[in-house]
A and B are shown apart, each in its own frame.
Chain A
């Protein structure tokens, strides 16, 4: 079976060698013809010799077009197959056997689409081609060898198969690529905003051009975009971070800002601890009226007239005036963004703290006096 895949020089050599063996095979055929007379009885053994499936062998033997000649030709043909195909034999038998043999083979060959296009070659090559094709069908499982050694006789047969298989493989690959591309495009189409789709359980990420398309890298990219979006948010919140570039410095600024806010809370709690004892129940009502003012940041103007009767503090008007001045400075700060007043308030808190400390000392003095 492997002689069909032999190269050009190899095939020519094989043919010469086959010349010598052809005579021997002819004699052998004649002997077999004698054996062949009772065909059905020997069919099983003969098919075993032929290495053909029994029904096909029977068909060959009992082909309607030819009688014994067909049988002999079929046997010769089958012997050719057994003897690793001696195409040269057919030349010798072509006179009597070619047509009926060809008929039997044509029926088989007709089943194979490979031979549909093989018409231009002469009979010899046709027959050889068909034989080789038949053997090729059996040898179909050895594509690489056929691919590697294309001969003109075999090439016309092997190439179509090989080309077909190659084309099919190529088409499959192209289809797969297209499918992959389509899937990615569909993913991209479904993608709304990769960085902002945080509410969705699945984040659709578009694979950009020139970037890796692994699932891992896509997930990492989505994660990075998420983190960058949140960093931008923080930059907007924290004053002075817009100008800074670089995550490390921005994070530094954020940490500083948070710590400064916490320090302010501590200062204010100290302040309130000192101030606290004077607070009355009017707080809630005052707060209700001042709630709007808190939001509008019109604090000093609205609260100023209310403050005086409420606070039962005596003799500290000078400090209060100072504080009102401070608050007047405060107000535009509160009206602006938080950043500004955060910078200004520490000073004010210090000032007010000093004033409150003064008031506290004054109060302590008053208490001592009373005691």
Chain B
């Protein structure tokens, strides 16, 4: 089976391919460096490390074109600088994680409250609702706190497409090897 050189019909697929390659390489590295331990703690560490690796690979494949990718790279490189000897991504758990990486149940609750209350709010409070939602969006999208609404929406759109690609690739890999 000859390796087919994939021709990118559109730039989105090129990014996807790049991400896939990088991610697989990082996966293989991780599998080499760390012994596989079936304990739950080990699995958790690995999963978090994998998560960071996934985001890092995505940001690298996108490059510096987008503000969110730059933000991710900055944050992760800062983590690396603090721990130069450890190339394991699991160490980054101790570093203060950016909010967009952490998904807690609190956010879900907040979300529900807002969705319930937005219908009952008057038009006068629409501005407040908008402000709250833009703040949430800024928290969710990396690097969103520094941007104005226009660029925030643009970055969100690109971030959504890249996240979808990332999920797709990871699913294929996971399904392949599970």
Contacts and interface: CB of A to CB of B under 8 A. Distances in A.
Interface of A: 223, 226-227, 230-231, 233-234, 237-238, 247-249, 251-252, 254-259, 261-266, 268-281, 283-292, 294-295, 299, 303, 306-307, 311, 323, 326-327, 330, 334, 338, 341-342, 345, 349, 352, 355-356, 359-360, 363-364, 367
A263 B28 CA distance: 23
B95 interface: no
A268 B160 contact: no
Nearest to A345: B171
Nearest to A337: B164
Contacts, number: 202
Given A252-B115, A284-B21, A268 B167 contact: yes
B15 to A, nearest CB: 12
Contacts of A295: 6, 9, 13, 16-17
Interface string B1-31: 1111110010001001100110011011011
A241 to B, nearest CB: 11
B172 A294 contact: yes
A311 B178 CA distance: 9
Interface stretch (B59-67, B69-77, B149-157): B149-157
Contacts of A268: 54, 167, 170-171, 174
Given A266-B47, A269-B47, A292-B6, A248 B129 contact: yes
A251 B3 CA distance: 43
Contacts of B176: 286, 303, 307
Nearest to B170: A268
B126 to A, nearest CB: 6
B153 A278 contact: no
Given A231-B153, A283-B24, A289-B4, A338 B168 contact: yes
A356 B51 contact: no
A312 to B, nearest CB: 11
Residue of A285, A292, A334 with most partner-chain B CB within 10 A? A292
Contacts of A330: 175
A268 B168 CA distance: 10
B4 A281 contact: no
Given A262-B140, A269-B54, A294-B168, 8 more contacts: A233-B154, A258-B156, A268-B54, A278-B177, A279-B24, A291-B4, A345-B167, A359-B178
Contacts of B17: 291, 294-295
Interface string B138-174: 0011000000011001101101110110111111111
A276 B27 CA distance: 7
Contacts of B129: 248
Given A262-B103, A345-B171, A234 B157 contact: yes
Contacts of B16: 294-295
A234 B178 contact: no
Main secondary structure of the interface of B (DSSP, over half): helix
B51 A265 contact: yes
Range of interface residues on B (Cβ < 8 Å): 35 or more
A177 to B, nearest CB: 34
Contacts of B126: 248
Contact of A311 (B107, B169, B173, B177): B177
A230 B157 contact: yes
Given A234-B157, A292-B6, A327-B175, A251 B133 contact: yes
A345 B174 CA distance: 12
Given A252-B133, A262-B103, A237 B160 contact: yes
Interface in B25-60: 25, 27-28, 30-31, 36, 38, 43-44, 46-51, 54-55
A256 B4 CA distance: 37
Closest 5 CB pairs of A and B: A277-B36, A288-B3, A273-B46, A291-B6, A230-B153
B163 A360 contact: no
A29 B24 CA distance: 119
Given A252-B115, A334-B168, A349-B171, A261 B13 contact: no
Contact of B164 (A226, A274, A275, A342): A342
28 contacts: A234-B157, A237-B157, A248-B118, A251-B134, A252-B111, A252-B115, A257-B160, A259-B111, A259-B140, A265-B51, A268-B167, A269-B51, A272-B170, A272-B173, A276-B30, A278-B177, A279-B27, A279-B28, A280-B28, A285-B1, A285-B3, A288-B5, A294-B16, A303-B176, A306-B1, A323-B175, A363-B38, A367-B38
